[in-house]
Structure 1
Amino acid sequence: MEVLSTGERIRLRRDGADVAIRMPEGDGFGLRAVPMPTPHPAGFGWIGNPQLVMRVPSVADVDLAVFAPPFRHHPALEGGTNVSVVEVLAPGEARIRSWERGVEGETLSCGTGSAVAVAWLARTEGVSRWRLHNAAGETLSVELQLGDDGAWRDLWLSGPARHLGVVRVDPALLTGPHP
């Protein structure tokens, strides 16, 4: 299924009880060089926003409120970056926690962070399909095809979807500026 959002076509599919979204790809999207020194093995990518991912021995042992802000606001990145930490449990399975810019705190799950984390893990671990356990206690699935240059194709993120409600937009908001 395709939907249109702010002029961009977005592909969705149903995976059993989960919903999957195909993440952005093409020119400019993909893994890049890590722009600053890090205390752990790290990856960096652009997926519409910047994502720094570090592999740590235990995500539970990381105090994200102390650990993430120096990277989030690092001068090497104008505007900063999201910061995720991953703990590999087994080939194709990991835990992840994320600190998101804008929120300026830990979130229960970061879709773009999860996608870039798996792209980097695919490069370093050689596995292109991962199950990620997020801070919400949910399991996300991420799969992709990764090129040697760090660009990805068919990067799909799937996880549980729940109906939270219906939004009714005031028609006055859709008509544009008023004279």
Structure 2
Amino acid sequence: MIDKLNASKYRAVYLDNEMYLRITNDNSILISKDNGSVWKKYDTDGVDAKDFANWLLKNDPIPGYSMKEIQRRLRNGAEVKHLVFENGKEMYFVMDGNGVQIELVQPEKIASVLIDGQRMMITSERLPMPISTQMLKSFYNLLVSSNILTKNQAEQDYSERIKHLKENDTIFTVTK
């Protein structure tokens, strides 16, 4: 699916119960709080790459991706942007020629789904991690409305993802 994302006009897509987020190829951050009907461009603050690397080591020492790779990207000039939301949730965006990587900071764990230039990631508010079929359907609808996947591709990938989660995954529990 990352190949489809890279071929689209978006570099990352994120969804939680409060908002949809897309990052365009020109690194504009667009957010919708009404399920994708209206999109608003958000401004971000720049963050020094060295400060972000130190923050990352302190706050996410065992991330779900290669720490060495992100440090290499930062040393090689990746731009880091930061956005803070009203509810205390924050996002860091690492942007370079390799794509966008989103680092989500949540005061309380929330259910979310994202795909960026590095991975597809699902988070949940507790263990075992419940993920609702409705949230996944909304995420795939966002991928279709953003022209990242066709409707048929989304339906097929969704079916495969649900099957995998139900049959093979010991961390996630699928809910309605």
TM-score (norm 2): 0.29
Larger strand proportion, structure 1 or 2?
1
Larger helix proportion, structure 1 or 2?
2
Question: Which of 1 and 2 has greater Rg?
Answer: 1
